[in-house]
Amino acid sequence: MENWLSPARYAVYLTAADGDRARALALYEWNTALACAVLRDLSHFEIALRNAYARALDTTWTGTGHWLDDPGSPLRAPLIRMRKSRRGPRRRVDINDKTRGAIDGARKRYGRTAPPGKVIAELSLGVWRYLSTSAHEKTLWVPHLHRAFPPGTHRATVDQLIGALHELRNRAAHWEPLLTAPVALRTKDLLTVTGLLSPELAAYIQHTSQVGPTLDRRP
């Protein structure tokens, strides 16, 4: 397994298995199954989130072009904020730069005439996740995205939930160890935020998710 997983990664499972090589392999297989179960549930959430945001923007955006492409769109217009630099003092950063790049990349792959739905489907959870941050409160949340949730929903609450789920999604998608990850807590977060987006979806996930049964089968 050392060559297969790399010595460092294998050591994580071997340590968790108290040096039992057979159990270490069983833990690795269990971790893979758990990641698959997590990603299955998160895939439903991701699609619901992007569709809810798209509907909210479709309803409220009044620019001349589509909100994916219009230079004045809150997803495209330069949004300058001061951010800490790893190598020095704070610097000015356009926090819409990556979103523009993601949209333009999808347009390049599918052409300028591709329907909006095709482009929207190409944008990763990483794009949608950051649209609820405090930096976007005045440009996106207040005029547009709050409509994706029930009246009175707080942006900070939504952002905290989505951020935690995005972090778990990245760990699962890269097949990182979930041995100590708060998967059960994140499942509750998932049901909370999907309940805000779509109570029907939250009920469906709760009744069909394999995350709980998989957690119970840990070697």
What residue numbers bound the domain in which 124 lies? 2-216
Average model confidence (pLDDT) across the chain: 95
Q: For residue 205, which phi and psi values (nearest 5 degrees)?
A: -60, -45
Q: Does the pLDDT of residue 73 top 80, yes or no?
A: yes
**In this predicted model, what pLDDT tens digit does every residue of 122-137 receive, in sequence order?**
999 999 999 999 999 9
The answer to whether the beta carbons of residues 96 and 75 sit under 8 Å apart is: yes
Q: Is 141 exposed, middle or buried (0-12, 13-18, 19+ CB in 10 A)?
A: buried
**In this predicted model, what pLDDT tens digit does every residue of 173-195 receive, in sequence order?**
999 999 999 999 999 999 999 99
Residue 26 confidence (pLDDT): 97
Q: Is 19 left (phi over 0), alpha (psi -120 to 50) or beta?
A: left
pTM summary value: 0.93
Q: Total domain count for the chain?
A: 1
pLDDT band at 211 (very low <50, low <70, confident <90, very high): very high
Q: Does the pLDDT of residue 42 top 80, yes or no?
A: yes
pLDDT band at 83 (very low <50, low <70, confident <90, very high): confident
d(CA 189, CA 182): 11
Residue 119 confidence (pLDDT): 96
Residue 130 confidence (pLDDT): 96
Q: Does the pLDDT of residue 92 top 90, yes or no?
A: no
Degrees to nearest 5, angle at CA 168 with 148 and 11: 175
Residue 122 confidence (pLDDT): 95
Q: Does the pLDDT of residue 90 top 80, yes or no?
A: no
pLDDT band at 34 (very low <50, low <70, confident <90, very high): very high
